[in-house]
Amino acid sequence: MTISYEKFGLKEVINASGRMTILGVSKVSENVLAAQKFGGEHFFEMSELSVQTGKYLADLLKIEDAQVVSSASAGIAQSVAALIGKGSVYHAYHPYTDKIQNREIILPKGHNVDYGTPVEVMVAQGGGQVVEAGYANMCSAEHIEMMITEQTAAILYIKSHHTVQKSMLSVAEAAEVARSNNLPLIVDAAAEEDLFKYAEAGADLVIYSGAKAIEGPSAGLVIGKKEYIEWVRLQGKGIGRAMKIGKDNILGFTQAVEDYLKNGSESGASMKERMAPFISELNGIANIDASVVQDGAGRDIYRASIKVSGDKSAKEVITELKSEDPAIYTREYQANNGIIEFDVRSVNSEEMTKITKRLTEIMN
Ligand X SMILES: *Cc1c(COP(=O)(O)O)cnc(C)c1O
188 binds ligand X (CB under 6 A): yes
Name beta bridge partners: 187: 157, 206
CB atoms within 10 A of CB 145: 16
Yes or no: say if 16 and 343 are a contact pair by the CB < 8 Å rule: yes
Yes or no: say if 17 and 321 are a contact pair by the CB < 8 Å rule: no
Residues 294-313 that bind ligand X (CB under 6 A): none
128 binds ligand X (CB under 6 A): no
Yes or no: say if 224 and 204 are a contact pair by the CB < 8 Å rule: yes
- Residue 21 C-beta: closest distance to ligand X, Å: 6
112 binds ligand X (CB under 6 A): no
Going by their DSSP bridges, the two strands 302-308 and 339-342 should be labelled as antiparallel
72 binds ligand X (CB under 6 A): yes
160 binds ligand X (CB under 6 A): yes
Please report, as a single letter, which amino acid is at residue 266. Answer: E
162 binds ligand X (CB under 6 A): yes
220 binds ligand X (CB under 6 A): yes
Comparing CB distances to ligand X, the nearer of 79 and 356 is: 79
- Residue 256 C-beta: closest distance to ligand X, Å: 13
342 binds ligand X (CB under 6 A): no
* Residue 177, C-beta contacts closer than 8 angstroms, at least 6 positions apart: 141, 144, 145, 155, 169, 183
73 binds ligand X (CB under 6 A): yes
- Residue 208 C-beta: closest distance to ligand X, Å: 8
334 binds ligand X (CB under 6 A): no
- Residue 174 C-beta: closest distance to ligand X, Å: 15
> Which phi and psi (to 5°) does residue 66 adopt?
-150, 155
158 binds ligand X (CB under 6 A): yes
Q: How far apart, in whole angstroms, are the C-alpha atoms of residue 354 and residue 327?
A: 10
Q: How far apart, in whole angstroms, are the C-alpha atoms of residue 191 and residue 213?
A: 6
- Residue 152 C-beta: closest distance to ligand X, Å: 21
- Residue 122 C-beta: closest distance to ligand X, Å: 8
C-alpha 91, offset from chain centre:
29
Going by their DSSP bridges, the two strands 104-108 and 288-294 should be labelled as unpaired
Q: Which of 177, 178, 185, 190 binds ligand X (CB under 6 A)?
A: 190
Binding site for ligand X (CB under 6 A): 21, 71-73, 115, 158, 160, 162, 188, 190-191, 209, 220
